[in-house]
Structure 1
């Protein structure tokens, strides 16, 4: 989702209108569930996916028509794939999907919302998008409101503050849009939870492929080092944040580490690794990993035990880091590390 939002922002900033297609309801054996999204450009190219195949082709065809109907802001399209249409497309079994299609005009108001949306996701903040429209299959009006974390509930015409608050709360618990009708109006709330944060301490040769690969599998990457020549956008163009530290002694001072956070320690030296690990073990992070041989690990662990760190805390650390796949090169090591992160995230 983060990549899709960023690409939508870039398209709007470049003056290109889009049709944003979102599955709001699905049943049967449809390829993707509610909440799946895809942006369609005027030239027919797409970003994101709502399942591929027949559904995607039908939505692309419908989007091409919407570009030329200026008075429709949001349209709901229903696709029945449980009949001959599905059989002719070689689908083993079909289903039914309802797709919300929004015409995102490249105007200042819409562009500003997606700029803020993109920035919030990069910072790891939850976001809720409220869309107010006519209670019709095709709405000629659409008012979008972006709510960030801890923001006061705004006034929404036709809906009480309580109903808006309840709608937002419900959307935060669900991965798909929540729709509430009120006479001739419809309010849609959709919340987006940021990807889990991955804090990578050290910006050396292993960090670069690790950060790049972790980003592709939906981790929010934060690079931290005390060397500006290493911790910079040129070396880590995919990173969500890059922080140059004065040193590693207070490495977590400006970080918000939660139970959903992951920490990787790959600094340039044993002493730095030990300094960061001592701090990392005090956080609630669900994963702490440190690169290094068994000899290096044991030396650091012994030093920490002498300083009063408990064995229970030390046992939280994954070291040597990564799954045992015989990795040798930085790129192979990155694969082993990210594979272990995925395994942890999956609950294994």
Structure 2
């Protein structure tokens, strides 16, 4: 959504009309998840995607028609019918696209509407090599990030230029934050103590994804101590550890890719 929001600001600054196309509802195998959004310009240019292929082409065509008419509307689709067999789509779902028209002059109201859209935030605990590579990938994936690290030399806007915020603080004194079910926490500090303190903090939130780096042995030893401290088994079951998809990653870059892949799986309802 970051690039879409930027495009909206640019369109409103120019007073140019556009449409926002979103997957409003759906069932079965979908090309993208419900809520996926695409901006369509008057000339057919786009930002974002609702799944590509013929479905997206038709959505762009319909959006351009509605822009020309100055109207909002919707577009049902069925990828499980013969219609799908004649296209390049291999999904089998059906649903409805919402197409909202904007004339480019509703900037204040539209900005409030976009601000309410929950992109899902990633909090990275640790500012080392893996964290730095993960932040770069998260930026490409348009995932807003916050970095928490107890060493100032490893936590600065220069080191993490894409971060919305960098917080230099010890892990036993992390500021309170309201993380919701779409938010994610990745724990990659430089030591077991920092990992544990960050994990205890994350488990107090409603974060939908919590992942911690380390071996199974390290995890099991940490969990044993946490159980003794009264941490419930149901809380520990929320944690993805060892973190990342099992792709045999070894370098910081490869480990960051494996973590990012698991974050994508979570965002798409598959983790």
More strand per residue: 1
Distance 2:221 2:84 in 1: 62
Alignment of structure 1 residues 282-297 onto 2, 5 Å: 282-283=204-205, 285=207, 287-293=209-215, 297=219
Q: Conserved in 2, the CA contact under 8 Å of 1:2 and 1:118? A: no
Distance 1:24 1:212 in 2: 30
Asked which structure has the greater RCO (Cα within 8 Å, sep 6+), the reply is: 2
Counterpart Cα distance in 1 of 2:235 and 2:42: 55
User: In the alignment, does 2:107 pair up with 1:111?
Assistant: yes
User: Structure 2 length as normaliser, TM-score?
Assistant: 0.68
The offset of 1:86, in angstroms, is 8.1
Residue 290 of structure 1 and its aligned partner are, at CA, apart by 2.5
TM-score, normalised on structure 1?
0.56
Write 1 or 2 for the structure with the bigger share of helix: 2
User: Alpha-carbon deviations, 1:102-129, whole Å to 9, x = none?
Assistant: 442332xx222333334334xxxxxxxx
Quote the residue 1:331 is aligned against: 253
Taking the aligned partners of 2:90 and 2:219, their CA distance within structure 1 comes to 53
Cα 1:47/1:248, change in 2 over 3 Å: same
Q: 2:177 aligns with which of 250, 255, 270?
A: 255
SS at match of 1:206: helix
Gaps of 5+ in 2: none
Aligned mates of 1:307, 1:30 — CA distance in 2: 43
Question: For the aligned residues, what is the CA RMSD?
Answer: 4.8
| Aligned equivalents of 2:128, 2:191: Cα separation in 1 | 11
Return the match for 1:242 from 156, 165, 185.
Answer: 165
Structure 1: tracts of 5 or more residues without a match:
122-193
The CA distance in 2 between the partners of 1:73 and 1:273, in whole Å, is 52
1:265 equivalent in alignment to 2:263: no
- Alpha-carbon deviations, 1:127-168, whole Å to 9, x = none? xxxxxxxxxxxxxxxxxxxxxxxxxxxxxxxxxxxxxxxxxx
Question: Is the Cα contact below 8 Å between 1:227 and 1:244 reproduced in 2?
Answer: no
